[in-house]
Structure 1
Amino acid sequence: MKKLSYLLLACFVISTAACKKNDPALPDNQLAFSASAQGLASTDNSVDVVLNLGRATDVAVPVSVDLTGSGVTYGTEFTTTPAAVNNTLNLTIPAGSSSVSFKVTKTAGVFLNGSESVSFVIKSAGQPVVLGSTSTLKLSFSSIVSTGSALTLDGGEGGSAAVNSVYVDLSNNFQSSVKRNSWDLGFYNGDDFRVILNNTTAASVVAVNKTDINTVSAADVTLANLELGFGKGTFAIFDDVTGDLTKTAIAQVSATEASNLTYVINRAGGAGTTAAAADLIKIRVLRATNGYILQYAKLNETTFKTLTVTKNTAANFNYINFDTGAAVTVEPAKDRWDLVWTYSIYFTGTTPYAFSDLVFGNYLGNTQIAEVLTSTVTYDAYAEANLATTTFTPSRNTIGSGWRATTGTVGVKTDRFYVVEDGAGNVYKLKFVSFTTQDGGTRGYPKIEYTLVKKA
């Protein structure tokens, strides 16, 4: 019996070794720029340049990138972060990551005519990484109208709860990643006076029927009323997911000061819980000349801080962070992005639900989007002639969660693609390539492809 056991064990070891030996080798892990061309508009001070791996690396990988200016000189008209040494950037892709980025910043006060550019070339990458086909990037110091590209969006760590929101400008092959928890409130820069919550952290809010913020304390709030997600909460305690600014959870800021109540905010939710009462934030917002006055404090504090927010018509919203008590940059300028990929409180049926991999359109920046089923016309066949029968909508949610399946056959839905008309009138067809291991991608780093259909 003992001999038989040894024989079976030996057979198992041999067969297992044989299976491992016969398993197909993983493809080369290629490093490439997210696009071969990128634009930096005259109104932009800086831009992030992203290099992507095909999959996350399990070791830190050193990367060297050479740069050559055309009409511009490093240190005079532009700089980089990290700084270049002898026109070479030395970067490191951290273990567990699939991307690395650097920032290019124009020198303040320097006049550029728009014909200038910088070429970046990946010089080397450490083992086990190899260089991909897009190893060169031309950064123009002017807006471009891209003919199309492929991008791997830098959602960052966290997988299905990736830490970043990623804004995409198709015409400039540009993406901008920002930490979802980097902001707390957004102040609308349009004609109305509206304040939005951070739906990407599943923040929630309740009103307190008091106008003296210093007198509001934990005694005025039932914590359970702020719980959101996991079957808890109502749509009244967070902002309308379609982006309807007449349905913000915080009421329109009134010109009559006495009409503006105090609100209590739970800064991050989605799991059916709230922070301790002492960590909740109370706010009151008033109108100012061309802007807002924000009063804010911890819930049990008896002295509030004040922040003035001035409207800026170049952006949809101005954003602030409670921890720093200062403005933070979140969205690019409203004419500099078309789509945002993110995690957010959303809904399933009639229940608030925290969703990953949502895609929203820049409806306030006049972006319009249409969904096209491949049963009507394929992505490859779609051309300018098809625009006449394409119905665009200015909705924020045209894409939403409809581009991917997270049950059954998990992955990108291949029976549809999208057509995006940006605020300038350029039209692109867009398809999602992957977003999870089941469809060959990496969660948190979705891949998209797009092609120019009609130039404005």
Structure 2
Amino acid sequence: MITSKNIHHYIIGALAAFMLSCAESEDPILGVPPVEEGFIEINGGGATFPNSVFINLSKGEQLPVSRKKWDLAFSTGTDFKVLINGTTGALAYPTGIFDMNAVGELQAEALRSSGRLEMSFTNMESILFVDLPSDPLSAPVMGSVSTSAASNQVYILNRGSFGLDPRPWKKIRVLIQDGKYLLQHADITSTTFSTMEVSKNKDFNFVYVSLEEGVVQVEPKKEDWDFMWSAGTSTTPFPQAVNGTLAYPFQDLVFHNVYGKVGAVQIMESDIAYENFTENNLTGLEFIQNNRLIIGSNWRGGGGPNVSPTIRNDRYYIIRDSRGNIYKVRFVALTRDGERGRPSFEFALIKGV
């Protein structure tokens, strides 16, 4: 006997079966297509350039982050390596001492009086105390962290004051414990130290640490950014400097995301104009993934005590992101209304995936 209650259940069941059948037959939801072209004014924060800014071309997005937000970057790769904050002009000095409490003001004062641990144009030894700007993981100043605790020395860290107020120097030591980093840190004058565990996160190139706040969010996930505009440590050939190379602070650096598998190459207008570069011109192009300074400071020129720098309009860049999208990028302005720290660029998709 069919009752109203049975009919109600039958209708509900039929509707559920129909909806399930429709859901199964629908095409899968596709990802959002990459942005085809755009213009971005980088929010570097103004004349004192307080921000590093991460750019995602396929989304047409930027993420400004304060340069002083972090002190150390812990690599998430197979090795155990730690970088210092080159965007602030930080330097680290190897003390040759393996006990945190045995390092103090005596060692720091010698560095202060000599100027050896200052980022300046007159410090001919600065290259010895910074990570290699072009590929920092290939030559970090702190080397690789040893699995033998007794082999990991204490470093004196000048946290950098490029465009920032000076902050207290620190002493740091990094060990490995149970597959994690173990950071020891303290003020120079302290006779005790704090300890912090830092776990790797494979979604990111680095895990960032502030010596005041602990683990902090800095860069996006490794697949979600293409290049970063920032002040930072750069190098130039200089015969009087140690190893013939001077490390010095530079305001307008562009680092492409080499550790996130982003490649970049510079193209000269004299070879092919920006407007004329198409997918047909990609043949034979070699994208650089072992030097994050291919763009670097090359997009701008000039500058000095009484001379403002200018955009170099004779070149542009081809960038291949981690997903295989390929863009052309051209910087078009160094300032906004004459204010530094707000450069801009245009970009266009050459080949999408």
Range class of TM-score, shorter chain? 0.7 to 0.9
Distance (whole Å) between structure 1 residues aligned to residue 228 and residue 32 of structure 2 = 20
Rounded to whole Å, the distance in 2 between the matches of 1:410 and 1:248 is 30
Q: How many residues align?
A: 310
In structure 2, C-alpha distance between the alignment counterparts of 1:269 and 1:411, rounded to whole Å: 25
Greater CA deviation, 174-183 or 410-419?
410-419
The AA in structure 2 aligned to 1:447 is: S
Asked if the contact 1:231–1:352 (Cα under 8 Å) also holds between the matched residues in 2, the reply is no
SS at match of 2:281: helix
Alignment-mate amino acid for residue 331 of structure 2: F
Contact 2:223 2:322 in 1 (8 A): yes
Greater mean deviation of Cα atoms: 330-339 or 213-222: 213-222
1:16 equivalent in structure 2: none
% of aligned pairs identical? 34
Partner of 1:228: 119
1:441–1:146 CA distance, 2 compared to 1 (3 A): farther
Correspondence for 1:445? 342
Q: Distance in 1 between matches of 2:271 and 2:128?
A: 39
1:422-454 C-alpha deviation (Å, 9 max, x unpaired): 0110000010010136xx664111111100000
Deviations 1:49-103 (A, max 9, x none): xxxxxxxxxxxxxxxxxxxxxxxxxxxxxxxxxxxxxxxxxxxxxxxxxxxxxxx
**Correspondences of 1:198-237 after superposition (within 5 Å):** 198-221=85-108, 222-223=110-111, 224=114, 225-232=116-123, 233-237=125-129
Q: Does 1:153 align with 2:48?
A: no
Give, in whole Å, the separation in 2 of the partners of 1:215 and 1:451: 56
Structure 1 residue runs without a partner (length 5+):
1-112, 116-141
Name the CA shift for 1:143/1:313 in 2 (closer, same or farther; >3 Å).
Answer: farther
Mark the CA change 1:430 to 1:260 in structure 2 (over 3 Å): closer, same or farther: same
Q: Does residue 218 of structure 2 align to residue 322 of structure 1?
A: no
Cα distance in 1 between the residues matched to 2:210 and 2:227: 23
Letter in 2 for 1:450: F
The offset of 1:220, in angstroms, is: 2.7
Q: In structure 1, what is the Cα distance between the partners aligned to 2:232 and 2:308?
A: 23
Per-residue CA deviation, residues 219-276 of structure 1 (Å, 9 max, x unaligned), is 23322321221311421101101124131111210001100001110111459xx969
Deviation at 1:291, TM superposition (A): 2.1
Deviation digits for residues 389-431 of structure 1 (CA, Å, limit 9, x no counterpart): 4232112011000001234784211111100000110000010
The answer to whether the aligner puts 1:264 opposite 2:144 as a matched pair is: no
Match of 1:426 among 290, 315, 325: 325
Q: Give the aligned partner of residue 109 of structure 1.
A: none
The residue that corresponds to 2:202 in the other structure is 313
Alpha-carbon distance in structure 1 between the residues aligned to 2:279 and 2:94: 50
1:295 aligns with 2:184: yes
Q: Is residue 268 of structure 2 the alignment partner of residue 373 of structure 1?
A: yes
The list of structure 1 runs, each at least 4 consecutive aligned residues, that deviate by more than 6 angstroms after superposition, is none
Classify 1:345/1:328 alpha carbon distance in 2 versus 1 (closer, same or farther; 3 Å): same
Q: Residue type of the partner of 1:369?
A: A
Q: Is the 8 A contact 1:266 1:275 kept in 2?
A: no
Higher RCO (CA < 8 A, seq sep 6+):
2
- Could you report, residue by residue, the CA deviation over 1:147-192 in whole angstroms, capped at 9, with x for unpaired residues? 11111111013x1x40000000100111100000110000000011
- Counting only pairs closer than 5 Å after superposition, residues 59-138 of structure 1 correspond to structure 2 as none
CA distance in 1, matches of 2:278, 2:339: 30
Shift of 1:288: 2.2
Structure 2: 5+ residue stretches without partners: 1-27, 238-244
**Residue 338 in 1 paired to residue 226 in 2?**
yes
Structure number having the greater strand percentage: 1
- Give the match for residue 312 of structure 2: 413
Instruction: State yes or no: 1:397 paired with 2:285.
Output: no
Which residue of the other structure, out of 248, 261, 284, is the alignment partner of 2:140? 248
Alignment partners' CA distance in 1, 2:269 and 2:62: 27
1:362 alignment partner in structure 2: 257
- Give the CA deviation at 1:215: 2.2
Within 2, Cα distance between the matches of 1:151 and 1:422? 17
